[in-house]
Amino acid sequence: QVQLVESGGGLVQPGGSLRLSCVASGFMFNHYTMYWYRQAPGNQRDFVALITSGGATSYADSVKGRFTISRDNAKNTVYLQMNSLKPEDTAVYYCNLNIGMPHWGQGTQVTVSS
C-alpha cells in the first residue's frame, strides 16, 4: 500500500533554512505528481508546492522564491528546500499523493522562532 514518510523538520531561527524529505513506497513514484502541504494550529491544510512526474513545479504565492521542491526518482523521494524561513512558516508539513484518493504522510513539525 502507499506509504509516505516525512522527515527533516525542526526548530530554526527566522532567516534560517531546512530541507524536508518524503520517502514514498507502494506505487510507481516516477509516474505521479507529488505535493507538499502545511497546516498551522487552528488553520486548514494549505497547498505549498507540487512537482509533476516531468519535473514541472508550482508554488503557493506565500513561499514563491523561498522554497524549492525537487524529486529523486531513483530514491523515491521528494524534497522541500526551505530558505529565508519566517515565523509564519511554522506548521506541520505533509507530503501528499493522489491515487484515487488522497494519501498523506504523518507530517513533520517545522517551527520558526527566535
Q: What is the pLDDT of residue 100?
A: 86
Q: Over range 39-67, report the average pLDDT.
A: 97
Cβ(67)–Cβ(59) below 8 Å: yes
Q: Give the tens place of pLDDT for each residue, 70-108.
A: 999 999 999 999 999 999 999 999 999 998 899 999 999
Q: What is the pLDDT of residue 33?
A: 97
Q: Give the tens place of pLDDT for each residue, 12-52.
A: 999 999 999 999 999 999 999 999 999 999 999 999 999 99
Q: Over range 44-73, report the average pLDDT.
A: 98
Written as nine digits, the cell of 106 is 504523518
Q: What is the pLDDT of residue 34?
A: 98
Q: How far apart are CA 70 and CA 68, in angstroms?
A: 7
Q: How far apart are CA 100 and CA 18, in angstroms?
A: 31
Torsion angle defined by CA atoms of residues 24, 25, 28 and 32, in that order, rounded to the nearest 10 degrees: -30
